Amino acid sequence: MADLKALRDGLATSLKTIPGLRVSATIPDQINPPQAVVQLDKIDYQRSFHRGLTEYTFKITVIVSRQSERNAQANLDAYVASDGKYSVLDALESDRTLGGAAFDLTMIGMDSYGSVSIGEVNYLSADFSVRVLAS
């Protein structure tokens, strides 16, 4: 089985290439937007014979401040864009092997976009699903 820490750290390293985005490779106690949080969502152990390939699905949650609705939405839009210097897709697919920790990475898609309350504070967030193939 692949080293989960190495996979999370690889995802975090790719996300840190986005200017101004704070990144947590583990689930933080406190949010400091704009922030991306890397979370393991699911593991499929049986992708090939004798556990030779495992599929990991990670959820990347990007959270932005909601001081102004328009600004918050414009900021989040930049992260969900299919390209550009703030694009989560571009950042994650820039190193598809996560520094050698994985065989391949594919951005599956963005699952949700909207308001979220964390500690009684309202933010905007988007959840991305990322498939990572490793041994």
Residue found under tokens 């090939």: 48
Q: What are the structural domains, with CATH classification, of the chain?
A: 4-134 (3.30.2000.30)
Higher pLDDT, 50 or 118: 118
Average confidence (pLDDT) over 68-83: 95
pLDDT of residue 116: 94
**Which of 15-19, 42-46, 70-74 is most confident?**
15-19
Model pTM score: 0.92
At residue 51, does pLDDT exceed 80? Answer: no
Starting at the earlier edge strand, list the strands of the sheet with 35-44.
22-24, 35-44, 54-65, 121-134, 104-118
Q: Give the confidence band of 99 by pLDDT, cuts at 50, 70, 90.
A: very high
